[in-house]
Amino acid sequence: MSQFNRAGFSLPLLPVPSRWLIMVICLLQGMLLYYFFSDSPAVTQSGFSHNIYGQTMAFTLPVLISLSLVQLNDHRFWGATVFITLLLAGMAAWVKSNVTGTPADSVMVPFNLSLVAMVFFVLPWLQVQTFTAQNRYRYAHLSACYSQNLLCAMLTFLLMLLTVGVLALCAALFRVIGIEYFHELFFDTPLFMHLVFGLLLGISIITCRTQPALMNTTRNIIRFILKGLLPLVAFVALIFLFALPFTGLTALSQTWSAASLLTIMALSLLVLVNVARETDSGVKPYPQAVRWLVNAAVLLLPVYAALALYATGVRISQYGWTPQRVWAVLIIVVTLIASLCYSFSVIDKRPDWLSRLNQFNKPLSLLVVLLVIAVNSPLLDPYRISVNSQLARLDSGKTQAKDVDLKLLRFETGRRGNEALAKLLQHPAFSADPRLLATVKNTMAQTSRWGSYNDKEADALAKNYRTEDAKKMITLAKGAVQPDDGWWKGLPALEKYRNTLRDCLSVQGACIVNTLDLNSDRQKEILLCNTLDAPSVNCRIYAKQAGQWTQSGELYLYEEKDKQTLIQALRNGEVKPAPRKWADIQIEGKRRVVHYQQDEN
């Protein structure tokens, strides 16, 4: 790491043996990521893809070591690495306990994102372990490490993007002349691309750590651009706050993205201020008038964080805690604390511009690390907090049983959410309502938010399907003709036991069938509507073609103000065809579909 920081102290040189070891580690990471994250049958059957410990270590340790290693015999560095490894193992153990018995993506995606944040903030503290004791934790060194790591990430992304483009061009050229080998090698062989990405990562890291002139030039160019953006962002932040009293806070509570936008604005100002204020430099970067503008924006930064916290608090009071809201509150709290610290720097009497940032940034970075650890441990477990909040709202009457977000419990709150679903089967509000009870059971059986079910369970349902039972469970609308036996017998094949037919066989009257002539061919088509789903009524249309029943259309009725009135209308047979007002056209005997801008109602 021969790059120089702003104070002029040289960061440690990277010996040649360490460079070779870094390249080997990056290639090994590519192989490990393939084995631990690949969906190929061989890997899945071997159990690699379910090893959360392996995924965690393969995702983090090679990056930490490759960007920090200097001397192979540095006992202090290896001791710190062992400590971080034990910490990561503890976090992986906790997340594994949350994944048990539930779809893993809802838990693993936030966990992997938290690992990215942890690596970013821990890495500079690991990198400075190679410094001498008197200069080890100087802010100038930490700042240089942060900037180098960001530049390395940008260079790696650009290098990978360009390489993929070259490989795609190569594969396309050979496909033109009928050679498919290169396309299959590059894009149908995941292990090859993982090794390529590992090689590119190694090249990028070694380049960043051995080319100080290139890194400093790139950093100065980026800093020049971002310093020019800071006054503009500060001006936008100020005029927004001046306009807010005229609109009121109601708009913030009615906009779902208000908290995220406010937080992004505050974080943008925090980052740009750090870029504009060069480390250990007494030169003030802007004219006095521009500095006053920036100072005013920084001084009012806590208002942005407070407004974001208010908007999130409104959502929590309305709908309770969710894992996403727990993460949002933590991010906003860190933003608020940083904003207060930066505001204090503005009113500081020291002659240097925002001189106290150096003192605040180090504990703030450690605070982020501690919160990431806490949120992946029993201390601030977002899944426990969310499940307890949702159940408490149900017990207190703030949330009606029909409004409980069952899919949140099933797919976004890990093991605890699924345990809560099992408890809801015994809850009086659900056990007394067959429709709600069936909805809970169906939700527990789903393997995805979109209604997929276990294949073995689907085969069992198809095997046990009886036409007589289906006719009893599905309500025939008033005035409708009973569908022929061919349609009833073909329902398992037509529906393939997606959520519609499963719901229909769970509760009597949950589904309604009607017969209508929808294409003016004097033959009745069949309209099957599922009313069990809480947010919508889903209908499917079946038509007979060449003597066989097939699904011909779908209708989804969302956000109905009075769902019960709609369901009663379906039962009463108050459904009739409504021909389109505007027709399609035919050219050379072929039908051409016209998409009209006028309202067809």
Residue 453's pLDDT band (cuts 50, 70, 90): low
In the predicted model, what is the mean pLDDT of residues 116-139? 85
- Return d(Cα 163, Cα 414) in angstroms, integer: 38
Q: Which of 35-49, 124-138, 361-375, 497-511 has the lowest mean pLDDT?
A: 35-49
pLDDT at 42: 52
Distances (CA, A) of 382 to 367, 368, 379: 18, 16, 9
CB 536 within 8 A of CB 557: yes
Q: Chain-centre distance of CA 76, in angstroms? A: 36
Strand 511-516 to strand 475-476: parallel, antiparallel, or no bridges (unpaired)?
Answer: parallel
- Asked if residue 270 lies in contact with residue 342, where contact means CB atoms within 8 angstroms, the answer is yes
Report the distance separating Cα 187 and Cα 163, nearest Å.
13
Residue 47's pLDDT band (boundaries 50, 70, 90)? very low
> What backbone phi and psi angles, to 5 degrees, belong to 175?
-70, -30
> Mean pLDDT score of the chain, rounded to an integer?
85
Per the rule left: phi > 0, alpha: psi between -120 and 50, beta: everything else, 522 is left
User: pLDDT digit string (tens) for 214-223?
Assistant: 888 888 888 8
Residue 111: predicted pLDDT = 92
pLDDT recorded at residue 322 = 93
CB under 8 Å to 335, separation ≥6 — which residues? Answer: 263, 266, 267, 270, 304, 305, 308
Q: How confident is the model at residue 561 (pLDDT cuts 50, 70, 90)?
A: low
- Give the range among 2-6, 107-111, 452-456, 540-544 with minimum mean pLDDT: 2-6
21 alpha-carbon distance from chain centroid: 34
Based on DSSP, count helices (H) and strands (E) in the chain, helices before strands.
25, 7
Q: What pLDDT shows up at residue 5?
A: 46
**Is the pLDDT at 560 greater than 70, yes or no?**
no
Q: Give yes or no for residue 535 having a pLDDT over 90.
A: no
Q: The tokens 């009833």 sit on which residue? A: 488
Written in H, E and C, the secondary structure of 211-241 is CHHHHHHHHHHHHHHHHHHHHHHHHHHHHHH
Q: What is the pLDDT of residues 457-494, one digit of tens each?
A: 666 777 788 888 889 999 999 999 999 888 998 888 88
417-428: per-residue pLDDT in tens? 989 999 999 999
Cα–Cα distance for residue pair 126/87, rounded to 1 Å: 14
- Residue 255 confidence (pLDDT): 66
How far is residue 44's CA from residue 36's CA, in Å, rounded to a whole number?
9
- Is the distance from CB of 291 to CB of 359 less than 8 angstroms? no
Q: Are 200 and 159 contacting, i.e. CB atoms less than 8 angstroms apart?
A: yes
The pLDDT score that the predictor gives to residue 9 is: 47
Count, residues in the chain = 601
- What's the pLDDT at 49? 46
Output the pLDDT for position 462: 72
* For the ranges 9-23, 336-350, 379-393, 514-528, the one whose mean pLDDT is highest: 379-393
Residue 70, phi then psi, degrees to nearest 5: -125, -70
The pLDDT of residue 244 is above 50: yes
The residue that leads in pLDDT, 376 or 356, is 376
The answer to whether the beta carbons of residues 503 and 442 sit under 8 Å apart is yes
CB atoms closer than 10 angstroms to residue 154: 14
Residue 441: per-residue pLDDT: 85
Place of tokens 């069949």: 526
Tens of pLDDT along 249-302?
776 766 667 888 999 999 999 999 988 876 545 567 888 888 899 989 999 999
**Two tokens, residue 428:** 């009086």
CB atoms under 10 Å from CB of 450, counted, come to: 9
Task: Assess whether pLDDT exceeds 70 at residue 85.
Answer: yes
The answer to whether 159 touches 175, Cβ cutoff 8 Å, is: no
455 CB neighbour count, 10 Å cutoff: 10
Calculate what percentage of the chain has a pLDDT beyond 90. Answer: 38
- Which residues face 548 on adjacent strands? 545
pLDDT of residue 40: 56
In the block, residue with structure tokens 């990215």: 116
Range with lowest mean pLDDT among 87-96, 444-453, 506-515: 444-453
Q: Which residue has the higher pLDDT, 2 or 133?
A: 133
pLDDT above 50: residue 352: yes
8 A C-beta contact, residue 415 and residue 101: yes
Task: State the residue for tokens 């942005």.
Answer: 304
The pairing of strands 536-545 and 525-530 is antiparallel
CA–CA distance, 460 with 534 (Å, rounded to integer): 26
The reported pLDDT for the residue numbered 248 is 75
Distance CA 121, CA 123 (A): 6
CA distance 359 to 341: 10
Instruction: For residue 255, give the nearest of 329, 183, 310, 180 by alpha carbon.
Output: 310
3-state DSSP call for residue 404? coil
Whole-angstrom Cα distance, residue 182 to residue 186? Answer: 6
pTM of the model: 0.84
Share of the chain above pLDDT 70, in %: 89
Give me the pLDDT at residue 420, please: 92
Whether the Cβ atoms of residue 215 and residue 9 lie closer than 8 Å to each other = no
Average pLDDT, stretch 388-396?
93
Cα 567 to Cα 556: distance, rounded to the nearest angstrom? 13
